Each structure stands twice: as structure tokens, then as C-alpha cells.
């Protein structure tokens, strides 16, 4: 079950008393009744093309009939929107997009440059700054075209959480809420600038890499993992290349002033508790929450804990807010 911390509450969230098998059973019990209420996908998501600096970006949409809000999802380092956020497994409910649409939201996913249906640009590289600008263009398009009231909320996963955090401190006026999951960078870490002499590797992606995030025992079926691996390799057969990684050093949690939800999988090796605690405690916004998915790992958003993950998102987006 998830555990939540609001600003000012104790941050010792590691519940070690429940056995792994019991946690898996709790997750499964939580998943089944909620999954029954999730609307099945009404066909494939709609693909839109948004232009940023003359470059086409793929934005995928699944829309509720009368949306009460809009949410944009940003993928991680290796895989793009469709495998990450719209995983379709026969007999199972794994699509985060479908789950959020069932809760009344219009949901969008951006493929960054070189991912999914978005081509690489002439530079052949991605950078943090370029991705932030592309995200800004996509969110401006969503705000104009979603048919939902208010500003969109933004969720970033893994590498996408880095892009989203940097975006939030530069473009706070474009979003209503920031949701980060699998956030990997400790605020005290520094990425060293290296000479820009390398060439893009264009390395092939692998089945082993596609399955590597699923580490929590019993968290997801083998069938779902197999479907994910096939979908990931189809969508992203070549690993996208990044450089100027020192641009991530510009992330400063004190400059993040938008309402922020941090979701951590307890067993996530990429987002350890020390990193989450340091980032959370230094956020510039007082309107913040930290939720731990007990027994969850880096991919909780598509595993058996997904209903709890969605509940954490919706509870934060729809929380009562006192306006002074």
C-alpha cells in the first residue's frame, strides 16, 4: 500500500515489517477490483504532430468524453510513450493512459526527439535544454486543444522526471501540478562537463534492457513483461543518444515553485530514498507530497500497483487547496 508524506511530516517511510509476499498479495488485491472499473481502450491513441523550432514532435492523445482536466506524460531514457504509458495486454489492465481517461482526464504523451514516432533532428542528439523547450511546445498545444479546463498537469518518469523538473523551474506558468516518479538525481550530485567529441552511437536496444525495470517479485505477470518487451523494441529499436549531460546540473529543487508530487517505488534502485528525501526537502513549493509505493519498483506505473499509483496522482491533482 502507498505511504504518503506531506511537507513537515517524518520522512522515514521504509516499511520493512511487511513481507515481500504479503506486499505482492496486497498489490494484487488492490489491482483486481479497481481494474474492473477501468474503461477499455477505445482503439489506438490519436497521434498529433506538434512543431517545435521547425521540428515535428509526436503527441499521443486519449481523451475522456467531458474531460475535467488534462495530463501530459513524459517517458524515460530508453523507451517512448506507447510502451511506457499505453501498454495493451490481453486480459490485463496496464495502460496508464486508459486508467487516467477512466478517471475523467484527457491524457497525452510526448515522444521526445528520436523516440517513438518523433524523428531525430539534424544534430542527431538530444539535450536537456532542447527537451525542455520541446515539452513547452507540447504543453502549449495541449492547453489549447485538450478541451479541458485549467492548465495541464505534468508527469515525468525516470529521465522524463529530470526533463519535467527542469521544465517546472523554467515554465511554471504552463502547468497546474508536477508529478515526478523514478526521479534519479540527488541535488548535491554534479555531472562533469566532457569534451563534445563523441559521435552518436545509434546502439540497438535489447530485450534484456526492455525487461530490466521489472524487479519487484510478483509485481507484474510474465505475459505483461513479454508484451512490454515486444512493444518497446518495436517502438524504439535504436537507443536515442544524449549529450551535454551537464545541463542537468541546472536542476535546483528550490526553484520548483509549482505543486509537486514525488512518487517513489520502495525497491527502485534508480530512485533511492536518500535522493528522494534530499530533493523533496529542498523543494521551493510548500504544496508538496511524497508517496512511497511499498513493494514497488521503477515501473510501478504499469505494474499491479498501478491503481494505487493512479490514486496518488488523482488525489494530488484533485486535492482541496486553500487559497490565501
Residue 291 lies in a domain: yes
Parallel/antiparallel/unpaired status of strands 153-157 and 177-181: parallel
Residue 231 lies in a domain: yes
What is the extent of the structural domain holding 310? 2-317
Residue 31 lies in a domain: yes
> How many domains are contained in the chain?
1
Residue 322 lies in a domain: no
pLDDT in tens, the chain (324 residues): 444 444 433 333 333 333 343 344 434 444 433 333 343 445 799 999 999 999 999 999 999 999 999 999 999 999 999 999 999 999 999 999 999 999 999 999 999 999 999 999 999 999 999 999 999 999 999 999 999 999 999 999 999 999 999 999 999 999 999 999 999 999 999 999 877 778 999 999 999 999 999 999 999 999 999 999 999 999 999 999 999 999 999 999 999 999 999 999 999 999 999 999 999 999 999 999 999 999 999 999 999 999 999 999 999 999 998 765
> Which CATH number is 15's domain given?
3.40.50.1820
Residue 215 lies in a domain: yes
Residue 150 lies in a domain: yes
Q: Helices marked H in the chain — which ranges?
A: 20-35, 81-85, 96-102, 128-145, 159-170, 207-211, 222-235, 273-281, 306-317
Residue 148 lies in a domain: yes
Q: At 105, list the grid cell.
A: 482526464
Question: Which of 287, 282, 215, 226 shows the shortest CA–CA distance to 255?
Answer: 282
Stated pTM of the model: 0.88
Residue 324 lies in a domain: no
Q: What is the pLDDT of residue 24?
A: 41
Amino acid at each position: 500500500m502507498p505511504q504518503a508524506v506531506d511537507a513537515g511530516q517524518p520522512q522515514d517511510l521504509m516499511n520493512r515489517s511487511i513481507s515481500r509476499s504479503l506486499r505482492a498479495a496486497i498489490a494484487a488485491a488492490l489491482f483486481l477490483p479497481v481494474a474492473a472499473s477501468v474503461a477499455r481502450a477505445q482503439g489506438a491513441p490519436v497521434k498529433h504532430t506538434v512543431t517545435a523550432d521547425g521540428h515535428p514532435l509526436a503527441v499521443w492523445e486519449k481523451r475522456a468524453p467531458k474531460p475535467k482536466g488534462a495530463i501530459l506524460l513524459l517517458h524515460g531514457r530508453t523507451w517512448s510513450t506507447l510502451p511506457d504509458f499505453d501498454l495493451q495486454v490481453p486480459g490485463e489492465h496496464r495502460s496508464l493512459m486508459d486508467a487516467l481517461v477512466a478517471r475523467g482526464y484527457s491524457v497525452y504523451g510526448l515522444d521526445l526527439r528520436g523516440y517513438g514516432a518523433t524523428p531525430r533532428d539534424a544534430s542527431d542528439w538530444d539535450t536537456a535544454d532542447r527537451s525542455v523547450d520541446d515539452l513547452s511546445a507540447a504543453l502549449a498545444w495541449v492547453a489549447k486543444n485538450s478541451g479541458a479546463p485549467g492548465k495541464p498537469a505534468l508527469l515525468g518518469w525516470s529521465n522524463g522526471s529530470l526533463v519535467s523538473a527542469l521544465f517546472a523551474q523554467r515554465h511554471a506558468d504552463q502547468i497546474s501540478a508536477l508529478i515526478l516518479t523514478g526521479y534519479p538525481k540527488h541535488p548535491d550530485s554534479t555531472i562533469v562537463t566532457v569534451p563534445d567529441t563523441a559521435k552518436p552511437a545509434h546502439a540497438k536496444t535489447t530485450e534484456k534492457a526492455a525487461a530490466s525495470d521489472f524487479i519487484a517479485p510478483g509485481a507484474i505477470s510474465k505475459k505483461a513483461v513479454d508484451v512490454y518487451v515486444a512493444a518497446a523494441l518495436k517502438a524504439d529499436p535504436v537507443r536515442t543518444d544524449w549529450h551535454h549531460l551537464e545541463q542537468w546540473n541546472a536542476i535546483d529543487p528550490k526553484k520548483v515553485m509549482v505543486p509537486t508530487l514525488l512518487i517513489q517505488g520502495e525497491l527502485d534502485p534508480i530512485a533511492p530514498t536518500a535522493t528522494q528525501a534530499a530533493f523533496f526537502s529542498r523543494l521551493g513549493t510548500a504544496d508538496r507530497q511524497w508517496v512511497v509505493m511499498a513493494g514497488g519498483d521503477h515501473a510501478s506505473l504499469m505494474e499491479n500497483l498501478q491503481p494505487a499509483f493512479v490514486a496518488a496522482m488523482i488525489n494530488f491533482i484533485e486535492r482541496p487547496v486553500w487559497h490565501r
